[in-house]
Amino acid sequence: IPSQMGMMTSMGSYFIISTNSLSGSIPSQLGMLSLMSSNFNLYSNSLSGSIPSQMGMMTSMGSYFIISTNSLSGSIPSQLGMLSLMSSNFNLYSNSLSGSIPSQMGM
């Protein structure tokens, strides 16, 4: 995923790049999509590395934050607790994440 995609700062919904064979890490610049309110979907690719803490800057996100079924590792960043408007479909399943769920989640 090109880091330049994080420059699409006017995007409010439907950033969907699911069910492909994309590899590499999630660019931290995607956290700059702060107006994104729904449907951020990277489901079912071959993305690896950790979830960037900058994803917590997507504070308008209310539903459908999906980065499941990849090969992500490491812990869940506590900054994702800043997604306080999330009301449905926060999916990180089917990865290789470790550690505990940060206490900031669900506050």
For the stretch 29-58, pLDDT in tens is 999 999 999 999 999 999 999 999 999 999
Identify the DSSP state of 67: -
State the average pLDDT over residues 58-69.
97
State the average pLDDT over residues 89-99.
97
CA 81 to chain centre: 12
Q: How far apart are the C-alpha atoms of 86 and 7, rounded to whole Å?
A: 23
Which amino acid, residue 102?
Answer: P
State the average pLDDT over residues 70-88.
96
Contacts of 102 (CB under 8 A, 6+ apart): 75, 76, 77, 78, 80, 81
Confidence of residue 105 (pLDDT cuts 50, 70, 90): confident
Mean pLDDT of the chain, nearest integer? 96
Whole-number pLDDT of residue 41? 98
Identify the three-state secondary structure at position 96. strand
Confidence of residue 107 (pLDDT cuts 50, 70, 90): low
Which amino acid, residue 80?
Answer: L
Whole-prediction pTM: 0.93
